[in-house]
Amino acid sequence: MVERRLRGQLRETGNILKGFKGNARACLMMEPLWGIPYNLFITYTSVYMAALGSTEKEIGLIASVGLIFQMFFSLVGGHITDKLGRKRTSLLFAIISWSIPTLIWAMAQNFYYFLIAAIINSAVRVVHTSWTCLFVEDTPPGERVHVFTWMQIAGILSGFVAPVAGFFVARYQLVPAVRGLYFFAFFSMTFMFIFRNFLVHETEQGLIRMKESKNASFFDSLKDYKEAATRLLATPSTIIAFLLSVFINIYTVVRTNFFAILLTNKLGFSQGSIALFPMIQSGIMLLVLLFVMPILGRMSFKKPLLGSFVSLIISNLLLVVSPDRSYIVLIISTVFMALGTAISFPLVESILANAIGDRERAKTMSILHVMLFAITAPFGYIGGLLASVSEELPFVMMGIIFLVCIFLTFVLDRLKVSDKPSMQGMD
């Protein structure tokens, strides 16, 4: 019975994947060339910074400064995307925001290298706007949640290479190994950006917006930003979904910058061993996205979101109470984190994506991300301050934040957001 159900689920999942065409398929195909090098170095980013002399406060400051600049690039991202087109903007700013910083990280000597690289890397927000438009605009609304889910699966599959980074760190020591990983990232990502550009086409909406924006200046477009912001603030359900996205983004910032520091400085894990946990995370998330998300997709958003936030609270609580070098506790925490992340990320992304019309997508996304990073920016430094007192405190903060997310989910449900506009294709 179980075997028949699994086969049926695999068949359904395969049919969904076969249905992807055009830009969505091209982006999915090329994602591993970005995801593999990213997953190789990201686990060691904070401890690499610490090894080159950066303190917890400085690591948090770098995160906050990066978010402030991301706010600026989010503001101009919509105008640039409409002006240059989705395709051209994605190529140009991907090279600026990833190829250049990976070289700087590879040659970094102190805090100032990381600060400069973070500022340049913040241009990724332009790419996020242009790439999202490129990725979803020619995809029917009912299929978008599946597109986001499969993009997450592509990234998760790339995460299985994380232990390779641990092998290099154990073999060649932290700093030389991570420098090599950043050089590899430069070559792999740059090739991916160029080759992907040959595979994708400008979207229909992109061609329209390029024509309409041909003679418009950035200041002319500010009126459009104001109108987009007014529409957003006039929709309570979109505001709640946006706040959930903000809190998820704060968690990403905190975990990226302070998880490895907690494991190595407080819990006594070796630098080579911490790459084990991203692999476990990837395995659990892959199973959830393949076999659980299609089932949850036929439900209303309330129960899946509540379950995901409870899982994230448990994960953070286990990090706080874990004894030294307890692989069992860290593995259980990683499992709960993977469950919560795999469910919450695509649901919140799809709610926001379907709440925005294609015509105003670029500028509305820009406004969303300006507000998102304005709220998120202080939390990098706040996390650094908390970590300088005790490495567990940033994760105590995240447990409290996910309690707020549970409350917001109930509010969203009480607003009676219909499943069709908020989660099309998941009924």
Report all structural domains of the chain as residue ranges with CATH numbers, in order of start. Answer: 23-203+221-422 (1.20.1250.20)
pLDDT of residue 403: 94
pLDDT, position 140: 65
How many Å apart are CA 380 and CA 64, to the nearest integer? 5
* Residue 220 confidence class, pLDDT cut points 50, 70, 90: low
Q: Which amino acid is at 194?
A: I
Give the model's confidence band at 130: pLDDT under 50 very low, under 70 low, under 90 confident, else very high.
confident
CB 301 within 8 A of CB 145: no
Query: What radius of gyration do the chain's Cα atoms show?
Result: 21
- Give the model's pLDDT for residue 357: 61
Quick one: pLDDT band at residue 310, thresholds 50, 70, 90?
very high
- End-to-end Cα distance, the chain: 24
d(CA 186, CA 258) in angstroms, rounded, equals 24
How much is the average pLDDT of 244-255?
A: 89
Quick count: other Cβ atoms within 10 Å of Cβ 216? 15
Look at residue 120 and tell me whether its pLDDT is greater than 50. yes
Q: Higher confidence at residue 217 or residue 280?
A: 280
d(CA 341, CA 281): 10
- Candidates 305, 51, 279; CA nearest to 175 is 51
- On the question of pLDDT at 213 being above 90, the answer is no
| pLDDT over 80 (residue 230) | no
pLDDT of 58 above 50: yes
In the structure encoding, which two tokens stand for residue 188, read together?
């792999």
Residue 419, pLDDT score: 43
pLDDT, average across residues 400-425: 71
> What confidence tier does 286 reach under pLDDT thresholds 50, 70, 90?
confident
What one-character DSSP code corresponds to residue 358?
S
Whether the pLDDT of residue 161 is over 70: the answer is yes
- pLDDT at residue 343, rounded to an integer: 87
% of the chain residues with pLDDT over 90: 34
How confident is residue 111, by pLDDT bands cut at 50, 70 and 90? very high
Q: Check pLDDT > 60 for residue 97.
A: yes
Average pLDDT over residues 340-349: 83
Confidence of residue 291 (pLDDT cuts 50, 70, 90): confident
Please give the C-alpha separations between residue 50 and each of 104, 184, 217, 277, in angstroms, as whole numbers. 16, 21, 43, 20
119 confidence band (pLDDT: 50, 70, 90): very high
The pLDDT of 392-416, averaged and rounded, is 88
* pLDDT of 358: 59
Q: What is the pLDDT of residue 288?
A: 84
pLDDT of amino acid 206: 79
Average pLDDT score over residue span 95-122:
96
Judged against a pLDDT cut of 50, whether residue 306 lies above it is answered with yes
C-alpha span between 151 and 347 (Å, rounded):
13
Task: Please state which of the ranges 116-125, 231-240, 250-259, 316-325 shows the lowest mean pLDDT.
Answer: 231-240
Across all residues in the chain, what is the average pLDDT? 82
